[in-house]
């Protein structure tokens, strides 16, 4: 039995266990690897995959922060600035305790406060969305503007640097050859997988995204659920901010602002319904890996980052067209036409 026949035979089992999105993205990931390995002899190297592993966590953590609001039928446009203000909180604590001479205790305290600031930002957004029924886009846009202005005011538009050596080790170190930021990201992926797949809040998140009025009439406290969703989104933003600070060894307002639209792109590429109610963490993870490998492959071929961004946009358009064609084909088969 050949590989193609084996795959076709196993397809129903894989579809049931993984879902169509995961299978499709997995096949496309394989295609990307094959194509770029043929175009560049440097693609399938430890150096290239090491670079991807270091760059992936920043975008990945911000995408996880964006995922929950989108699943609930909303959006969080303040993810990058929440990450920045949280990282600034940690930086100020370190600066107040000796800067380069600060100990791990100061770092721990600053990290807790950074997570609290991120959570508070998300809590405010969630509460406003839940209790005022204002549109999440407008609420998160207002929070984004507020956090950006506040950060610019407090830092005078500059950056903060000068941290203990162990902070840089967190951003650039490794454990058994695995980059430390990647370990943080994978742990967060596992937590999000458990949250969405095995918790009441995860179930409520999908329900709210599918039909918030029906969810409310079924007895679910949708206001509390939305507030928790955005609070957790803010906490994940803070984790991203800490990782970014450790990697760049500095903090300023605007770090990672180019990631905002890419987080939305990664969610949609991962099969998340833009209107909420459907999406998987594993699919989003595969989409992130594909985007990062596309960027890395184009970079090895001499293309600049702007072309990579254009390719990402074309990729999204192609995926939407293919999904539409696939759904139409399925409907035609069901109708017998």
Residue, of 207 and 254, whose pLDDT is higher = 207
Strands (DSSP E) contained in the chain are 159-161, 174-175, 178-179, 250-252
> What does the pLDDT read at residue 82?
96
Mean pLDDT of all residues in 150-157? 87
In this predicted model, which residue has the larger pLDDT, 240 or 329? 240
Q: Are 85 and 256 in contact (CB under 8 A)?
A: no
Q: Is residue 1's pLDDT more than 80?
A: no
For 62, 143, 297, the CA distances from 244, given in Å and listed in that order, are 11, 21, 23
Distance CA(236)–CA(64), nearest Å, equals 7
Q: What is the pTM of this model?
A: 0.88
The per-residue pLDDT for range 255-286, each reduced to its tens digit, is 888 888 889 888 988 889 888 888 899 999 99
Mean pLDDT of the chain: 86
Q: Which distant-in-sequence residues (6+ apart) come within 8 Å of 307 by Cβ? A: 298
Write down the pLDDT at residue 102: 86
The 10 Å Cβ neighbour count of residue 155 is: 17
pLDDT at position 129:
95
Q: What is the pLDDT of residue 336?
A: 67
Mean pLDDT value of segment 4-23: 51
CB count, 10 Å around CB of 301? 13
- Does pLDDT of 17 surpass 60? no
Render pLDDT for 159-172 as a digit per residue (tens, 0 to 9).
888 888 888 888 88
- Count other Cβ atoms within 10 Å, centred on residue 36: 20
- Residue 261: what pLDDT? 84
pLDDT band at 52 (very low <50, low <70, confident <90, very high): confident
């Amino acid at each position: 039995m050949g590989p193609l026949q084996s795959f076709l035979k196993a397809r129903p089992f894989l579809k049931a266990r993984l879902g169509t999105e995961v299978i499709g993205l997995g096949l496309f990931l394989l295609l990307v690897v094959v194509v770029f390995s043929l175009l560049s002899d440097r693609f399938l190297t430890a150096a290239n995959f090491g670079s991807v592993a270091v760059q992936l966590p920043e975008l990945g953590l911000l995408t996880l922060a964006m995922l929950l609001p989108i699943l609930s039928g909303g959006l969080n446009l303040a993810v990058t600035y929440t990450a920045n203000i949280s990282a600034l909180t940690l930086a100020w604590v370190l600066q107040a305790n000796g800067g380069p001479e600060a100990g791990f205790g100061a770092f721990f305290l600053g990290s807790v406060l950074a997570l609290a600031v991120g959570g508070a930002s998300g809590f405010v957004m969630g509460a406003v969305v839940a209790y005022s029924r204002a549109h999440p886009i407008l609420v998160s846009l207002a929070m984004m503007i507020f956090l950006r202005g506040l950060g610019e005011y407090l830092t005078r538009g500059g950056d903060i640097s000068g941290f203990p050596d162990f902070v840089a080790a967190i951003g650039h170190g490794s454990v058994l050859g695995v980059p430390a930021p990647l370990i943080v990201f994978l742990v967060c992926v596992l937590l999000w997988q458990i949250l969405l797949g095995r918790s009441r809040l995860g179930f409520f998140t999908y329900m709210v995204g599918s039909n918030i009025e029906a969810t409310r009439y079924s007895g679910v406290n949708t206001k509390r659920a939305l507030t928790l969703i955005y609070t957790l989104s803010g906490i994940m933003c803070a984790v991203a901010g800490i990782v970014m600070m450790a990697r760049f060894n500095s903090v300023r307002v605007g770090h990672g602002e180019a990631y905002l639209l890419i987080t939305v792109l990664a969610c949609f590429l991962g099969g998340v319904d833009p209107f909420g109610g459907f999406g998987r963490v594993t699919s989003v993870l595969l989409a992130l890996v594909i985007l990062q490998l596309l960027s890395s492959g184009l970079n090895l071929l001499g293309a600049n980052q702007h072309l990579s961004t254009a390719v990402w946009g074309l990729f999204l358009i192609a995926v939407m067209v293919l999904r539409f064609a696939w759904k139409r084909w399925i409907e035609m088969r069901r109708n017998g036409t």
